[in-house]
């Protein structure tokens, strides 16, 4: 029997709220966080809707007690990590080894862009304080120092599956006895770099995204951060708290089809989902809900849906894409969706997939469209797939 | 359980060989990689689209696989602190200059930190585990840790592990403004950094790949025993003693200490303070004289440690006098006194 890894707390900030209770309320009310661009300084302001966190950098600095000149990535990271950490911080034993495992795709790119505008005019131009947080590890260290975590600090970057991989690494390190407590997840702030990059790939929808709908035509970018508190069995006992659930399975695989597109048969996602089930020693019919990757691009949903059909056949579990609320938050998405999966399990919740009307031709998959409570769910699967073919599935189970 | 090195692939400013000169900075304080003829390793159609850092990474990875006679890896793990800077800069520049109009996707696609790991998987059609660590001067150490954990978990028998960072002109200019590099550069090979007494270091770069396995290869018994990172640790002495004790070793058992002195008078004293009383009589070598300073330089040090442990020939007079077959090599690195790390290699 493998050592269990428990989930002891969660925290998230996204376009649908600055905390977990705010996010759940927005979902219950069917309020999407996607809307016109307000803070991101882009030439495409009136063209593409985005899912921004509804706080300026100044507001975020006040909210987190951090200086406002730092990268938005760190401000978002501190907000979510603090919410997760504060639920257990007072229970930490001095002998516990505690780690922070974060993930991001572009680190402090928001500030770097400001720097680079001046630098391009003149190589002695641009304020160095705007480029000092560029590296992916830099926002992680600001979060670690704010929380006072020293024992293990790392950052993973595997595009849109980044934070699923940081959560997986945290679970493995706890199983290996290297950590007692791990704060794991990820963060990305919106940046014009990413917005323009996705625009060149022609996968941004000018309308609100419609995951798994036949008329889907691309994704909406979002921003946010989410962290989970992972605990070893002995840490849980010492702390004497009731866990939210446990992380029972995980698997990382590669699609190896194209640098940015998913294979038509979804081989990478199929291996990831099967691997997570195998790790948890579960059968497909044990799964009560899938929080799908579901970006709303023609390619992803076709590929992911095909893989799901290969595994679940006609007995498709309930599923939905929370990106219809939060947008695609890239390096944070695996974390946000892991938090929502944990809450679905704990409270018996099913989240609606907004703006769905017609199933994808040839697949016929119908996501959940209504918010439901009191549903008996024992196991939840969360999918995260990314550029480079990186596919990771996480599985959460009731105690 | 030991982690054995089955193959290596290295692109660096210096590789030991009788005709290879010791690395010397040119007009700038930086050591540049000596790059292979990539056409011998990578399809020219693929090569045309690859930036320099992706070429370096994929070429080193393919070389390590050839060296280990592995055709299909069971996991691919990379480390990069800087990522794909050239493509990031290209896209960022065009985006600013063209006011976010008329952009093309290639540079963006290849700007993500997982580009190299993804590219290797794509070339090999490898569906296995794939991960990329990008945490400054912990990147390689944590990728190595991930590889060792995967092998311990026992579901796979080999891992391709690599670390890549390139020093490209723009990054060099920006880091130079932070005061990281020496102002004046002497001509000729860079001597022992330990003997320098001015602020700043000399920038480096490299791509270093390993094929790792839990079973020993036929011709070698070199293994990586352990790796550990310490964030702003203060006094490292107790950490080193505890780390060695976990492997039933004392400082005197370390046949060679590879430390990360980089010639920056502001930070090299940390090595002296840490070593004082622990490693007073051990042979010591500053590996950055061969590769320069960069966040994943410890990957090159790991390769160098394995090379020396195998008893392979280094140029006369380079290594400390009286160095015998060392048995255990300890790599101790710190990056601006923030990121400290230890890696232990042994002849098992």
CATH number of the CATH domain containing B322:
3.40.47.10
Enter the tokens of residue B108. Answer: 């963006």
Q: Are residues B186 and B321 in the same domain?
A: no
Q: Which of B213, B239, B269 is the last residue of a domain?
A: B213
Q: Check if the beta carbon of residue B274 is closer than 8 Å to that of residue B189.
A: no
Q: Does residue A39 belong to the interface with chain B, where contact is any CB pair within 8 Å? A: no
pLDDT in tens, A296-328: 999 999 999 999 999 999 999 999 999 999 999
Residue B53: closest CA among B12, B18, B83: B83
Give the chain B residue nearest A195 (alpha carbons).
B100
Q: What's the pLDDT tens digit per position in B175-218?
A: 999 999 998 777 777 777 766 778 999 999 999 999 999 999 98
pLDDT, tens only, B70-124 = 999 999 999 999 999 999 999 999 999 999 999 999 999 999 999 999 999 999 9
Q: Which residues of B touch A196 (CB under 8 A)?
A: 91, 95, 100, 103, 108
pLDDT (tens digit per residue) in A38-52: 999 999 999 999 999
Q: Which residues of A touch B135 (CB under 8 A)?
A: 136-137, 140, 153-155
Residue B178 lies in a domain: yes
Q: Which one of B96, B101, B231 has the shortest CB-CB distance to A150?
A: B231
B142, closest residue in chain A (CA to CA): A154
Considering the domain architecture, whether residues A271 and A351 belong to the same structural domain is answered as yes
Taking residues B157-177, report their average pLDDT.
96
A111 and A66 assigned to the same domain = yes
Q: Which of A160, A209, A270, A391 is catalytic?
A: A160
* Whole-number Å distance between alpha carbons of B135 and B112: 14
Name chain A contacts of B124, Cβ cutoff 8 Å: 256
Residue B170: both structure tokens together: 């723009």
Nearest-by-Cβ selection for B133 from A43, A105, A156: A156
∠ at Cα A188 (A170, A204), nearest 5°?
Answer: 125
pLDDT for the residue B194: 67
A144 part of contact set with chain B, CB < 8 Å: yes
Is residue A176 within 8 A of residue B155, CB to CB? The reply is: no
Name the region of B188 (left: φ>0; alpha: ψ -120 to 50; beta: rest). Answer: left
Q: Residue B55: its pLDDT value, please?
A: 98
Please tell me which residue in A134, A251, A293, A379 is annotated as part of the active site: A293
Q: Do B142 and A154 touch (CB under 8 A)?
A: yes
CB contact under 8 A, A159 and B112: yes
- Best residue in B93, B113, B124 for a mutation probing chain A (most A CBs within 10 Å): B113
Confidence at B266, pLDDT banded by 50, 70, 90: very high
Distances (CA, A) of A141 to A132, A178, A363, B138, B261: 12, 20, 44, 12, 24
Residues of A whose CB is below 8 A from B149: 172-173, 176
How far is A125 from chain B, CA to nearest CA, in Å? Answer: 10
Question: Which one of A153, A166, A297, A386 would you mutate to disrupt binding with B, by most B Cβ within 10 Å of its Cβ?
Answer: A153
pLDDT of residue A1: 59
Alpha helices, DSSP H only, in A2-152? 20-28, 57-64, 72-86, 109-121, 137-147
Boundary of a domain, candidates A210, A239, A268: A239
Given A120, A155, A196, which is nearest B103 (Cβ)?
A196
Q: Specify whether A22 is located in the same domain as A115.
A: yes
How near does any CA of chain A get to the CA of B344, in Å? 17
| A286 plus A345 within the same structural domain | yes
Would you list the DSSP string of B115-156? HHHHHHHHHHT--SEEEEE--GGGHHHHHHHHHHHHHHHTS-
Distance CA A294, CA A307 (A): 12
Q: Which of B78, B91, B108 to mutate to test binding with chain A, by most A CBs within 10 Å of its CB?
A: B108
Task: Say whether both B81 and B107 belong to one domain.
Answer: yes
- Catalytic residue check, A160: yes
| Residues shown for chain B | 348
As for how many domains chain A has, the answer is 2
B41 part of a folded domain: yes
Shared domain check, B78 and B160: yes
**Which of B162, B189, B213 delimits the end of a domain?**
B213
Is A136 close to B113, i.e. CB distance below 8 A?
yes
Q: Which of A180, A210, A239 is the last residue of a domain?
A: A239
- Whether pLDDT at A23 is above 70: yes
| B317 part of a folded domain | yes
Q: In this predicted complex, what is the ipTM?
A: 0.98
Distance from CA of A165 to the nearest CA of B (A): 8
Containing domain of residue B291, as a range? 224-347
Considering only CB atoms, which chain A residues are within 8 Å of B100?
A: 42-44, 192, 196
Task: With CB atoms and an 8 Å threshold, state whether B122 touches A136.
Answer: no
For residues A379-393, average pLDDT: 96
Same-domain pairing of A289 and A147: no
Question: Rounded to the nearest 5°, which phi and psi values hold at A289?
Answer: -160, 140
Residues 312 through 371 of chain A touching chain B, CB cutoff 8 Å: none
What distance in Å separates residue A222's CA from the closest CA in chain B? 18
3-state class (DSSP) for residue B63: helix
- Kindly list the distances between the CA atom of residue A310 and the CA atoms of A265, A277, A391, B106, in Å, as whole numbers in the listed order: 9, 14, 16, 32
Query: CA-to-CA distance for A273 and A284, rounded, in angstroms?
Result: 9
A193 to B131: CB separation less than 8 angstroms, yes or no: no
Q: What is the mean pLDDT of residues B211-230?
A: 93
On the 0-12 / 13-18 / 19+ scale of CB atoms within 10 A, B33 is buried
For residue A54 the two structure tokens come to 């509804």
Kindly state whether residues B177 and B252 are assigned to the same domain. no
The fraction of chain A above a pLDDT of 90, given in percent, is 98
What's the confidence (pLDDT) of residue B16?
93
A225 and A271 within one domain? no
Residue A292: which of A399, A201, A374, A368 has the closest Cα? A368
Q: How many Å lie between the alpha carbon of B135 and the closest alpha carbon of chain A?
A: 4
- pLDDT for the residue B195: 67
Residues A216 and A251 occupy one common structural domain: no
pLDDT-based confidence at B315, cuts 50/70/90?
confident
Longest pairwise C-alpha distance within chain B: 63
Distance from CA of A282 to the nearest CA of B (A): 18
Give percent above pLDDT 70 in chain B.
99
Q: Is residue A269 located within the same domain as residue A289? A: yes
Average pLDDT of the residues in A266-282: 98
The CATH number assigned to the domain holding A343 equals 3.40.47.10
Contact B294, B165 (CB under 8 A): yes
- Catalytic (active site) residue A176: no
Task: Concatenate the DSSP letters of all residues of A310-367 into one string.
Answer: HHHTT-PPEEE-THHHH-B-GGGHHHHHHHHHHHHHHHT-B---TT--SBPTTT----
Contacts of A155 in chain B (CB under 8 A): 133-135
Give the bridge partners for A224, in sequence order: A14, A188
Same domain, A159 and A253: no
Of A128, A176, A260, the CB nearest to B149: A176
CB A229 within 8 A of CB A86: no
Say yes or no: A118 contacts chain B, CB-CB below 8 A. no
Q: Characterise B174 by phi-psi region: left (phi > 0), alpha (psi -120 to 50), beta (else).
A: alpha
- Give the residue among A48, A17, A21, A26 at the shortest CA–CA distance from A35: A48
**pTM of the shown model:** 0.98
Helix A109-121 with A192-200: angle, nearest 10 deg: 90
What pLDDT, on a 0 to 100 scale, did the predictor assign at position A214? 98
Q: Which residues of A touch B114 (CB under 8 A)?
A: 157-159, 386-388, 390
A284 and A259 in a single domain? The answer is yes
A131 in reach of chain B (CB within 8 A): yes
A293 is catalytic: yes
Partners of residue A163 in chain B, C-beta under 8 Å: none
Is the pLDDT score of A166 beyond 80? yes
Q: Which residues in chain A are closer than 8 Å to B139, comparing Cβ atoms?
A: 137
User: Between chains, do B104 and A200 touch, taking CB under 8 Å as contact?
Assistant: yes
Cβ contact (<8 Å) for B135 and A140? yes
Q: Which residues of B touch A157 (CB under 8 A)?
A: 83, 112-114, 132-134
Q: Are residues B201 and B290 in the same domain?
A: no
Boundary residue ending a domain (A222, A239, A256): A239
Could you give the CA distance from residue A72 to residue A70 in angstroms, rounded to a whole number?
A: 6
What is the DSSP-derived secondary structure letter of residue A222?
Answer: B
Q: Domain check: are B240 and B161 in the same one?
A: no
Q: Are residues A273 and A226 in the same domain?
A: no
For residue A140, is pLDDT > 80?
yes
Hey, what are A317's tokens?
Answer: 């579990």
Of B76, B119, B138, the CB nearest to A154: B138
Q: Check if the beta carbon of residue B108 is closer than 8 Å to that of residue A201.
A: yes
Backbone angles phi, psi at A214, to 5 degrees: -60, -25
Contact B136 A172 (CB under 8 A): no
Q: What part of A 263-322 touches B (C-beta under 8 Å)?
A: 267-268, 271
Question: What is the reported pLDDT for A340?
Answer: 98
Tell me the average pLDDT across B259-275: 96
Domain extent for A59: 5-239
pLDDT reported for residue B2: 87
pLDDT for A111: 94
Tokens of B194: 């330990």
What is residue A243's three-state secondary structure? coil
B69 found inside a domain: yes
pLDDT higher than 80, residue B1: no
Average pLDDT in the B127-147 region? 98
pLDDT at A203: 97
CB within 8 Å: A173 and B149: yes
Tell me chain B's radius of gyration from C-alpha atoms: 20
pLDDT-derived band at B234 (thresholds 50, 70, 90) equals very high
d(CA A77, CA A62): 14
What's the number of domains chain B is made of? 2
Residue count of chain A: 399
Alpha-carbon gap: B79 to the closest alpha carbon of chain A (Å): 9
Let me know whether B126 and B197 are in one domain. yes
Residues B137, B56: one domain? yes
CB contacts < 8 A, A to B, total 166
Q: What are phi and psi of A12, to 5 degrees?
A: -155, 150
Please state the rounded mean pLDDT for residues B311-321.
86
Nearest CA in chain B to A126: B174
CA–centroid distance for A286 within its chain: 23
Q: How far is B141 from chain A (nearest CA, A)?
A: 10
Residue B38 lies in a domain: yes
List all residues 6 or more positions away from B289 whose beta carbon is below 8 Å from its beta carbon. Answer: B22, B23, B190, B191, B192, B193
Q: Which residue, B165, B191, B213, sits at the end of a domain?
A: B213
Mean pLDDT rounded to a whole number for chain A: 97
CA distance A162 to chain B (A): 9
């Amino acid at each position: 029997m493998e050592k269990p890894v428990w989930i002891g707390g969660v925290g998230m900030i996204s376009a649908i709220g600055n905390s977990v209770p705010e996010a759940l309320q927005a979902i219950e009310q069917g309020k999407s966080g996607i809307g016109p661009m307000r803070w991101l300084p882009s030439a495409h302001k009136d063209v593409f809707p985005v899912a921004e966190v509804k706080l300026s950098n100044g507001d975020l600095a006040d909210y987190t007690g951090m200086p406002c000149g730092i990268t938005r990535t760190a401000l978002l990271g501190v907000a979510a990590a603090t919410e997760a950490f504060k639920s257990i911080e007072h229970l930490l034993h001095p002998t516990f080894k505690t780690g922070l495992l974060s993930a991001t795709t572009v680190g402090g790119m928001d500030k770097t862009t400001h720097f680079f505008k001046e630098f391009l005019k003149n190589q002695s131009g641009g304020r160095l304080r705007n480029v000092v947080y560029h590296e992916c590890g830099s926002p992680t260290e600001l979060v670690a120092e704010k929380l006072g975590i020293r024992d293990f600090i790392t950052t993973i970057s595997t595009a849109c599956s980044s934070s699923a991989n940081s959560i997986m690494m945290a679970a493995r390190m706890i199983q290996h006895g290297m950590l007692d407590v791990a704060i794991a997840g990820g963060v990305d702030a919106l940046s014009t770099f990413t917005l323009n990059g996705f625009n060149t790939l022609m996968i941004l929808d000018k309308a609100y995204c419609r995951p798994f709908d036949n008329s889907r035509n691309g994704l909406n970018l979002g921003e946010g951060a989410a962290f989970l508190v992972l605990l070893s069995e002995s840490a849980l006992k010492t702390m004497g708290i009731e866990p939210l659930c446990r992380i029972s399975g995980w698997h990382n695989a590669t699609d190896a089809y194209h640098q940015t597109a998913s294979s038509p048969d979804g081989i990478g996602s199929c291996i990831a989902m099967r691997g997570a089930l195998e790790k948890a020693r579960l059968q497909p019919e044990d799964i009560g809900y899938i929080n799908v990757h579901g970006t709303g691009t023609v390619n992803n949903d076709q590929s992911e849906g095909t893989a799901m059909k290969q595994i679940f056949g006609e007995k498709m579990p309930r599923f939905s894409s929370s990106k219809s609320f939060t947008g695609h938050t890239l390096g944070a998405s695996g974390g946000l969706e892991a938090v929502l999966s944990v809450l679905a399990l704990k409270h018996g919740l099913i989240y609606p997939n907004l703006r769905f009307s017609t199933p994808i031709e040839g697949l016929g998959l119908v996501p959940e469209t209504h918010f439901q409570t009191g549903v008996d769910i024992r196991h939840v699967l969360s999918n995260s797939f990314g550029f480079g073919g990186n596919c990771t599935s996480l599985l959460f189970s009731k105690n | 359980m030991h982690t054995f090195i089955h193959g290596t692939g290295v692109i660096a400013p210096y590789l030991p060989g009788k005709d290879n000169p010791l690395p010397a900075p040119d007009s700038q304080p930086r050591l540049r990689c000596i790059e292979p003829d990539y056409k011998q390793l990578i399809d020219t159609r693929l090569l045309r689209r690859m930036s320099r850092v992706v070429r370096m990474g994929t070429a080193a990875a393919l070389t390590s696989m050839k060296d280990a006679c592995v055709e299909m890896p069971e996991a691919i793990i990379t480390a990069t602190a800087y990522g794909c800077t050239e493509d990031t800069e290209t896209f960022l520049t065009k985006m600013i200059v063209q006011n976010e109009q008329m952009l093309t996707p290639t540079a963006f696609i290849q700007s993500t930190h997982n580009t190299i790991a993804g590219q290797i998987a794509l070339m090999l059609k490898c569906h296995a585990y794939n991960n990329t660590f990008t945490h400054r001067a912990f990147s390689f150490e944590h990728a190595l840790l991930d590889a060792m954990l995967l092998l311990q978990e026992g579901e796979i028998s080999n891992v391709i592990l690599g670390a890549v960072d390139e020093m490209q002109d723009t990054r060099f200019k920006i880091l130079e403004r932070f005061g990281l590099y020496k102002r004046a550069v002497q001509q000729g090979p860079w001597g022992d950094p330990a003997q320098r007494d001015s602020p700043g270091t000399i920038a480096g770069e490299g791509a270093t790949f390993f094929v790792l396995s839990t079973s020993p290869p036929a011709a070698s018994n070199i293994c990586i025993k352990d790796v550990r990172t310490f964030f702003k640790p203060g006094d490292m002495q107790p950490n080193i003693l505890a780390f060695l004790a976990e492997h039933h070793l004392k400082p005197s058992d370390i046949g060679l200490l590879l430390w990360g002195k980089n010639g920056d008078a502001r930070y090299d004293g940390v090595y002296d303070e840490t070593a004082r009383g622990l490693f007073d009589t051990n042979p010591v070598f500053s590996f950055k004289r061969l590769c320069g300073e960069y966040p994943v330089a410890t990957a090159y040090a790991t390769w160098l440690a394995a090379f020396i442990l195998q008893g392979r020939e280094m140029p006369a007079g380079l290594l400390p006098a009286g160095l015998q077959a060392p048995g255990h090599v300890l790599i101790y690195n710190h990056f601006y006194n923030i990121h400290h790390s230890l890696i232990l290699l042994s002849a098992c």
